[in-house]
Structure 1
């Protein structure tokens, strides 16, 4: 599936998470701390933010709401098709649910997804396979849950709520979240699976959608393609941040990170310079953020 890491996203989509946090007693200032996102921009549909800004926002919300079980799943359920603008509307106009989900995957970077998502069929089921390995480890569980929940909501909406039972699979051990997820999906999640996935009975996949409009579908597909080109950034700082927040850690050297992302040290240094930053500045920024998180969580 297409890479979502280098694509900017409308800040208005992040407002869903902020509203959830506010409903649980967290103020907007806390949510936006260190993100370089201004509060007045949240209602501006034209404002785009970088992936790293959204990740900082997520870190702040996770830090502020540490005791809410299935936090990512609950936030993911707050999204709906209309949240995503052109991308969401394009799904409505597709001929079948299969076509809609394939369109969703084709233009996946226009959604909130961080997982790599691919479709599959087996044993009378159509499924979405979700791979969270490219996500920094401390955000992996939250974003996997959010991606799954948002996908479940979209499938339910597209089927006009005809699909009420969906099987979820997780590679992790059973958690206290299972009862809540079962209440949403209608069936108990499978844990210690070989994959993270959602499965729905295949009988629903090729049923015609009542909102199908061939001309509008083509028009919206063209607009999605145009919007995707406009939003893609290819920023190298995201790649560096993923490495130092992931398996390499903050003690990694520039050479270590360059090797991990298949660049020479010289090229990495030059590309960071083009983005008006440096390896040292990125590492120092993350160290300060982690120190702040430790300070707050120890209160």
Structure 2
């Protein structure tokens, strides 16, 4: 299950995926179907989305182009250091390759990775594990491939030499495309159908200095990374995940469906929401109220909003709205200035 800041990411990664889809003759609108995002959103660097929206985007791409081995690798070649912002600067400023790798692992959610990364020593080797737990099972091949390719591309943009990969162990079955791509990425020894996804590196490589080491710059930009993570963590939590799903689906989704999306039972969902001091009913009412406000503020009629939110009658919607806002939907709409650029992101 996804948690905390891992759920939230800049829209930049989604924008790159949409361009990848377009390069394969897929209309951008088709790639964005059911994500809650519009093409105009892709140009707004301030928009943050939840990772479930990006997973929906990947599903659309795989449905349209075919879920073939190697597709994630091709997508990973579009990820570059410049996308990482503060994290990229912090990584390039580290003193050693090991410090850079550990920084990546700590803040992998800021790197647009889908997997979590772990680093462990094994005599003269370093094991880098890819944990796919955050990824829905049917998307894990794409996620592993994309993260491996992106990792190598970014490493090559940071260094003018390749970190030696002694061996790559994959949970994936053999596919001939992996041999060719393995050569391209400088990975000669690949083992398939293994219990875990692991890069086995030469420890001596990780002790080498980074070419642009700057301890002051590294501290400054790592602090910015930490602040971004904390802001997202404070905003999300389980209640935030439920809000995001409700915002995407409106009232057309019930508690059982939300629990299934979050890979937990209804009972667990209730208990964990109670631990956060709220209930599903409270979140549903709050989110429906926010959706109603957004729609009314962007010019939808009261009738249209009632229909869009699934109410059986305008009067039922009007009663619920009065309970939320203490005024009728019409009064609220008339009191709101015509907003510029207000759009639902989730």
TM-score (norm 2): 0.69
Q: 1:258 aligns with which of 267, 279, 291?
A: 267
Q: Residue 232 of structure 2 aligns with which residue?
A: 231
Residues 1:36 and 1:260: Cα distance change in structure 2 (over 3 Å): closer
Matches within 5 A, 1:214-225: 214-225=215-226
2:97 counterpart of 1:81? no
Structure 1 residues 128-137 or 4-13, which shifts more?
4-13
Q: Residue 284 of structure 1 aligns with which residue?
A: none
Q: In 1, are the aligned partners of 2:31 and 2:57 still within 8 Å (CA)?
A: yes
Q: Residue 153 of structure 1 aligns with which residue?
A: 153
Residues 1:42 and 1:264: Cα distance change in structure 2 (over 3 Å): closer
Q: Residue 203 of structure 2 aligns with which residue?
A: 202
CA distance in 2, matches of 1:217, 1:19: 31
Cα drift, residue 18 of structure 1? 1.4
Q: In 2, are the aligned partners of 1:243 and 1:257 still within 8 Å (CA)?
A: yes
Larger Rg: 2
Cα drift, residue 246 of structure 1? 8.3
Cα drift, residue 129 of structure 1? 0.6
Residues 1:276 and 1:180: Cα distance change in structure 2 (over 3 Å): farther
What's the secondary structure of 1:120's corresponding residue?
Answer: strand
Matches within 5 A, 1:184-203: 184-203=185-204
Q: In 1, are the aligned partners of 2:69 and 2:141 still within 8 Å (CA)?
A: no
CA distance in 1, matches of 2:220, 2:86: 10
Cα drift, residue 165 of structure 1? 4.3
Q: Which runs of 5+ in 2 are unaligned?
A: 246-255, 289-346
| Deviation by residue 1:232-288 (Cα, 9 ceiling, x = unmatched) | 32223379879635877xxxxxxx3433796379965246426627xxxxxxxxxxx
Q: Residue 250 of structure 2 aligns with which residue?
A: none
| Deviation by residue 1:7-58 (Cα, 9 ceiling, x = unmatched) | 4211122222112111111121111111111212212211111112111111
Q: How many residues align?
A: 269
Q: Residue 311 of structure 2 aligns with which residue?
A: none
Residues 1:241 and 1:146: Cα distance change in structure 2 (over 3 Å): farther
Cα drift, residue 213 of structure 1? 0.8
Q: 1:276 aligns with which of 270, 287, 299?
A: 287
Residues 1:218 and 1:142: Cα distance change in structure 2 (over 3 Å): same
What's the secondary structure of 2:287's corresponding residue?
Answer: coil
CA distance in 1, matches of 2:4, 2:268: 22
Q: In 2, are the aligned partners of 1:12 and 1:42 still within 8 Å (CA)?
A: yes
Cα drift, residue 79 of structure 1? 0.7
CA distance in 2, matches of 1:203, 1:224: 28
Q: In 2, are the aligned partners of 1:119 and 1:127 still within 8 Å (CA)?
A: yes
Residues 1:97 and 1:125: Cα distance change in structure 2 (over 3 Å): same
Q: Which runs of 5+ in 1 are unaligned?
A: 249-255, 278-299
Structure 1 residues 233-242 or 94-103, which shifts more?
233-242
CA distance in 1, matches of 2:282, 2:148: 34
Cα drift, residue 217 of structure 1? 0.8
